[in-house]
Amino acid sequence: MADPVVAIIGAGPAGVRAAAALVAAGVRPVVIDEAMRAGGQIYRRQPDGFTRSYTDLYGSEADRAKAVHDCFDALHGHVDYRPQTLAWNISDRRIFTAGPDGQQVLPFDALLLCTGATDRLMPVSGWHWAGCYSLGGAQIALKAQACAIGRRTVFMGSGPLLYLVAAQYAKAGAEVAAVLDTSSMSASVAALPRLLAQPATLRVGVGLLRDLRRAGVPIHRGITPVEIHGDADRGVSGVTVRTSRGDALTIDCDAAAMGHHLRPETQLAELAGCDFAFDAMVRQWLPVRDADGRSSQPGVYLAGDGARILGAVAAEAAGELAALTILADRGYRVSDTARQDARQAVARARRFAEGLARAYPWPHEQTSALGDATILCRCEAITVGDLRRTIAETGAEEANRAKAFSRIGMGRCQGRYCGLAAAELIAGAVGTPVEAVGRLRAAAPVKPIAIGSAGRCDR
């Protein structure tokens, strides 16, 4: 009997721990990874020739990052690792990829999606100027290229990543002009009982705040973004917000990094046929999975931030748990104790994530205050006014209908960065709950690929 073809998409914390569990059981998985080396975004490795220490790169997460890297390096020869390879479609139990060896189609018996997350962004007037980055983009510049996005940078948004990236910039010697947080201190205090589910993680967050204050970085809570100033020649030149007391505050800078925590990368889960459900706490549609990582689609499993944002620690546990579930479902003997330990770790992280959602809420109400001239979809240069007119003239109250009439979400990012805000804008304009607006449907290829490399795109 031939060994099963078990494929893992993604080599971050979830994918690495899943691969290790499969190899330990004698299964040689295929690991498909967009990056050059395993580690994912959170533990992204520096390029060859760079010599920064783990402490410099990952701070308080240095030991965990090294453990994940060492774990995957030890699997060399026991996995079919395919780096720099994009999985751009899933259809009829086949994965379509584009990589260094060209286009390939991989049939699978079991598939584990560990696709990670991207920034959750709320448009701001002027966010299209050069020098305005997502928090994740600012972090990549620092980790992978050893450079800052500007000489004087403002960090604006909410969530743990806001403070993490700002602290990393300050530690690297970059000038952090300010941290501007849309969430309130009272929200963080109210969320504390849930945040105590992971005291070690909470201590890390407190430490980031301490480091920023020691570095003399101004931190403003409860702000409302007003405008990112700039022009086509110079790019970003400043940021104006309204403080919690209603005063206007303008800070000079030549770069801005923004984001409101994260959103799962779910396009491949949808193409694989997985069911989705609306999560009211985070106001997002997420793929359905059971406590052990099974999706609604037989043979397709989900782990890590690509299913639900629970953090790197939980992603490791969820990856191992999903791999053990794959093995159990295929008749392998697995440790009940290991599965139960992983379930408990994920459950703790879920409670902590509920605390984060309360402490750093998605500021959906800001969409109603956006001016008509504000760029909403940066890929297609569609403004807030364009979408409002589309809704008024066509009666489009569903995300994909609005997309068809306005082109919102038709750009190269396929709505990753504008889709959530567009849904909130539609919901506010027609007076309907945001879940009634639905979500933008995924389409292959999920990311741009070279013309002519796709061949047939079977659906």
Contact 435, 278 (CB under 8 A): yes
**Tokens 């364009």 map to which residue?**
386
* CA neighbor of 218 nearest in space, from 153, 312, 301, 305: 153
pLDDT tens digit string along 342-382?
A: 999 999 999 999 999 999 999 999 999 999 999 999 999 99
Round to whole Å and give the CA distance between 417 and 134: 9
Round to whole Å and give the CA distance between 280 and 290: 18
| φ, ψ dihedrals at 376, nearest 5° | -100, -50
Mean pLDDT of 438-451: 90
pLDDT tens digit string along 396-407?
A: 999 999 999 999
Mean pLDDT of 151-177: 96
Rg of the chain's alpha carbons, rounded to an integer?
A: 22
Residue 92 CB partners (closer than 8 Å, separation 6+): 458
**What string of H, E and C letters represents the secondary structure of 108-156?**
CCEEEECCCEEECCCCCCCCCCCCEEEHHHHHHHHHHHCCCCCCEEEEE
Determine the 3-state secondary structure of 293 from DSSP: coil
pLDDT tens digit string along 165-200?
A: 999 999 999 999 999 999 999 999 999 999 999 998
Mean pLDDT of the chain: 94
CATH of domain 121-260: 3.50.50.60
Q: In the prediction, which pLDDT does 454 show?
A: 54
pTM recorded for the entire structure: 0.94
| pLDDT beyond 60 at 160 | yes
Give the single-character DSSP code of 8.
E
Mean pLDDT of 262-291: 97
Q: At what angle do helices 312-329 and 336-359 cross, to 10 degrees?
A: 140
- Superfamily of chain region 6-118+263-356: FAD/NAD(P)-binding domain (3.50.50.60)
- Give CA 8 to chain center in angstroms: 18
* β 102-107/224-231 pair status: unpaired
Round to whole Å and give the CA distance between 113 and 383: 34
pLDDT classification of 459: cutoffs 50, 70, 90: very low
Every domain range in the chain assigned CATH 3.50.50.60: 6-118+263-356, 121-260
Q: In the prediction, which pLDDT does 49 show?
A: 79
Rounded to whole angstroms, what are the CA distances from 261 to 157, 356, 357, 366, 411? 8, 9, 9, 16, 22
Q: Give the DSSP per-residue string, 320-359.
A: HHHHHHHHHHTT----HHHHHHHHHHHHHHHHHHHHHHHH
Q: In the prediction, which pLDDT does 321 show?
A: 97
Determine the 3-state secondary structure of 89 from DSSP: strand
Mean pLDDT of 389-402: 95
Contact 298, 273 (CB under 8 A): no
Round to whole Å and give the CA distance between 237 and 257: 13
Round to whole Å and give the CA distance between 32 and 79: 10
Give the single-character DSSP code of 439.
-
Mean pLDDT of 88-111: 95
pLDDT classification of 453: cutoffs 50, 70, 90: low
**Tokens 């050059």 map to which residue?**
36
pLDDT tens digit string along 348-357?
A: 999 999 999 9
Other C-beta atoms lying within 10 Å of the C-beta of residue 294: 18
pLDDT classification of 452: cutoffs 50, 70, 90: low
pLDDT tens digit string along 2-18?
A: 688 999 999 999 999 99
pLDDT classification of 298: cutoffs 50, 70, 90: very high
Contact 274, 288 (CB under 8 A): yes
CATH class of this structure's domain 364-437: mainly alpha
Q: In the prediction, which pLDDT does 457 show?
A: 46
Query: Count of alpha carbons within 13 Å of 186, Cβ hemisphere only?
Result: 2
Mean pLDDT of 80-109: 96
Mean pLDDT of 206-233: 96
Q: In the prediction, which pLDDT does 146 show?
A: 85
Mean pLDDT of 242-269: 97
**Tokens 């956006």 map to which residue?**
370
Other C-beta atoms lying within 10 Å of the C-beta of residue 53: 8
Mean pLDDT of 411-427: 94
Residue 173 CB partners (closer than 8 Å, separation 6+): none
- Give CA 149 to chain center in angstroms: 20
pLDDT tens digit string along 302-317?
A: 999 999 999 999 999 9
